[in-house]
Amino acid sequence: MIRNIFPISLAVFFSSAVFSQELAQWRGPNRDGIYPEHDLLKSWPVTGPAMLWHFDDLGQGHSSAAVTDNRVFITGMINGIGYIFSFDLNGKLLWKVPYGEEWTESWPGVRSTPLICDGRIYLESGFGKLVCRNANDGALVWTVDILKEYQAPNIKWGMTENLLIDGNKLFCTPGGPEYNVIALDRNTGKLIWKCAAKGEESAYCSPALIKLTNRKILVTHTASSIIGIDADTGKFLWSDDQPNTYSVHANTPIYRDGYIYCVSGYGRGGVMLKLSPDGNSVEELWRNTSIGNRMAGAVLVNGKLFGSDDNGKAWYCVDWKTGVDMYSEKITGKGNIIFADDMLYCYGDNGEIALVQPEVNSFKKISAFKVPYGSDQHWAHLVIKNGRLYVRHGSSLMVYNIVK
């Protein structure tokens, strides 16, 4: 059910030109949790920022919204079937289309956030079904069962990968012994290259793309390793050991100026890798177990890493260069984090969203509110687009005005 609190009168013009060259993806433009927004509110009322609208019939799931300049896309599972929903910016449901069977076992619901690129939607289901659909009306363009086609096993909690595009290449990690990581033609779904890597199973990771002067490198996790692959050719370049108890490595690697930070849960924590200038190798510089989260991400701001820890339920600030803890506090429940306009947005698993100012020696919690709608776990990552905060809690999507 849609609830419009403050309707917007502008209509949306349905045209393929609407989406030309537009990209909306997991954790922002660079997949690092940093949103390039300005003139946002520096504090909120006690009840939170003004809610513009909410929709409460998504079904089960933990995926985030993918937001373009005039559309909102999100997924949900209803009676075991996955659906893609498309809304205009008023919250009007434009269409809802099924894409197939979804994950009904432990922690049921949709996993992956839609990727929107040049008028098409790309999505991977918990059962490894890859779909490409038209963003205007949801019509099917192509589909591939990557587990069946590329001889890979499913994993304990279902395939959970937020897809990545570069040019005409769509990257994903089936996790098979031969087709461990693959690049598909995003227009047809046909194979461009395959990489056997270390032959390990997929590990819930959404990859990062590193752009060097003369090459691009795809970085992701498989069951026990961080791996680097030449993004143009599929050549396996390097790996670094990163095992943990359940082979869960759901956080996207963070890259900055020759350094790669990767963090996992279950006591493994984070590691800093120094990438060689040619991209052919890495070396470990430091390890830190303070930020040890399974799937909540971290952000890099002004030479500092910010994120929460699964075990101590504290939020940490860690020095990027040395890995030394700078400070920590229990801001709210452990959870996911994004950054915009000099502020941290922390979404705790207790259902609280906190607006936090990172200071030299402490966190300053400015405002907070409880998420009012939805069900089950508070796992979906926050999204900010054009002065709006998008919050998904299970069956509900809530949209708040956070611009001054």
pLDDT at 311: 85
Share of the chain above pLDDT 70, in %: 95
pLDDT at 315: 97
pLDDT at 267: 86
Q: Which CATH number fits domain 112-159+162-203: 3.40.190.80, 2.40.128.630, 3.30.160.20, 2.70.98.10?
A: 2.40.128.630
* Euclidean distance between CA atoms 218 and 123, whole angstroms: 19
Lowest mean pLDDT among 289-293, 317-321, 336-340, 400-404: 289-293
pLDDT at 312: 78
How large is the average pLDDT for residues 225-253?
A: 97
What digits encode the pLDDT tens for the residues 215-226? 999 999 999 999
pLDDT at 8: 33
pLDDT at 4: 52
pLDDT at residue 119 above 90? yes
Q: How do the domains of the chain map onto residue ranges?
A: 112-159+162-203, 213-228+241-294+297-307+319-329
SS3 annotation, the chain: CEEECCCCCCCCCCCHHHHCCCEECCCCCCCCCECCCCCECCCCCCCCCEEEEEECCCCEECCCCEECCCCEEEEEEECCEEEEEEECCCCCEEEEEEEEECCCCCCCCECCCCEEECCEEEEECCCCEEEEEECCCCCEEEEEEHHHHCCCCCCCCCCCCCCEEECCEEEECCCCCCCCEEEEECCCCCEEEEECCCCCCECCCCCEEEECCCCEEEEEEECCEEEEEECCCCCEEEEEECCCCCCCCCCCCEEECCEEEEEECCCCEEEEEEECCCCCCEEEEEEECCCCCCCCCCEEECCEEEEECCCCCCEEEEECCCCCEEEEECCCCCEEEEEECCEEEEEECCCEEEEEEECCCCEEEEEEEECCCCCCCCCCCCEEECCEEEEEECCEEEEEECEC
pLDDT at 283: 98
pLDDT at 398: 98
What digits encode the pLDDT tens for the residues 298-314? 999 999 999 999 887 79
pLDDT at 6: 39
pLDDT at 21: 54
pLDDT at residue 14 above 80? no
pLDDT at 218: 98
pLDDT at 313: 79
pLDDT at 19: 39
Four-point Cα dihedral 195, 197, 203, 205, nearest 10: -60
How large is the average pLDDT for residues 32-48?
A: 97
7 pLDDT tier (thresholds 50, 70, 90):
very low
Locate 341 and state its tokens.
Answer: 């306009």
Are the beta carbons of 131 and 125 closer than 8 angstroms?
yes
Q: pTM for this one? A: 0.94
* Euclidean distance between CA atoms 277 and 113, whole angstroms: 33
* Euclidean distance between CA atoms 249 and 318, whole angstroms: 20
How large is the average pLDDT for residues 144-162?
A: 98
pLDDT at residue 255 above 80? yes
pLDDT at residue 271 above 70? yes
pLDDT at residue 275 above 50? yes
227 pLDDT tier (thresholds 50, 70, 90):
very high
Average pLDDT, the chain: 94
pLDDT at residue 12 above 50? no
What digits encode the pLDDT tens for the residues 53-109? 999 999 999 999 999 999 999 999 999 999 999 999 999 999 999 999 999 999 999
pLDDT at 361: 96
